[in-house]
Amino acid sequence: MDFIIAEISTHGQGKLYPLKVREKRISVLFLHHALERTMKWHLTEEMTIDFTLSGGSNEGHKGRYIAHRRYDDYHLIRVVYEYDRETPVLITVYFLYSEHHFKRGKFLRVKYSKKADILLMEFREGNPVDSIDLTEGVILHLDEKGLPLKIEILDASIVSRKT
């Protein structure tokens, strides 16, 4: 997507990037964490903005969105963001290995049981034969080779408030 970045300004939560996209003016706010992650993955802010504005977006949990796009033959980049009025607020940026997430056309499976308040993230198919308590209420399930299959978070709504 073609855009021009005007003068970048410091914001209490990160940096604000005023943009001119076609004839429209918008702003994108990078939170400090998103800026750190952009640097960690050796991306530019321009690349991250482009991925956000032109990547396929899906609505995520609690009003957040996930933009994702292939970065190269091996990686997928994801940008997690939400809106503050009409301003996209970039929360985090990360790479995924595309072979794991395009397997049979499916991404990582995430399930949440509101009734039991359990969040389950499944990385791949398999039967767990062992588990490790990573911290109170966070369990890593392993296959027969000791490789991760899934992570289970008990009392997920409480655990998410602690971070």
Whole-number pLDDT of residue 23: 84
Render pLDDT for 87-145 as a digit per residue (tens, 0 to 9).
999 999 988 765 555 554 455 778 888 888 888 888 877 788 888 888 888 889 888 88
pLDDT-derived band at 58 (thresholds 50, 70, 90) equals low
- The band of 160, judged by pLDDT with boundaries at 50, 70 and 90, is low
What band does 22 get if pLDDT is binned at 50, 70 and 90? confident
pLDDT for 149 equals: 86
H helix intervals, 25-86: 32-40, 45-54
Q: Cα(24)–Cα(11) distance, rounded to whole angstroms?
A: 22
Report how far residue 114's alpha carbon sits from residue 116's, in angstroms, rounded to the nearest whole number: 6
In the predicted model, is pLDDT for residue 59 greater than 70? no
Residue 163 pLDDT > 60, yes or no? no
Task: Give me the helices (H) in the chain, please.
Answer: 32-40, 45-54, 98-101, 156-162
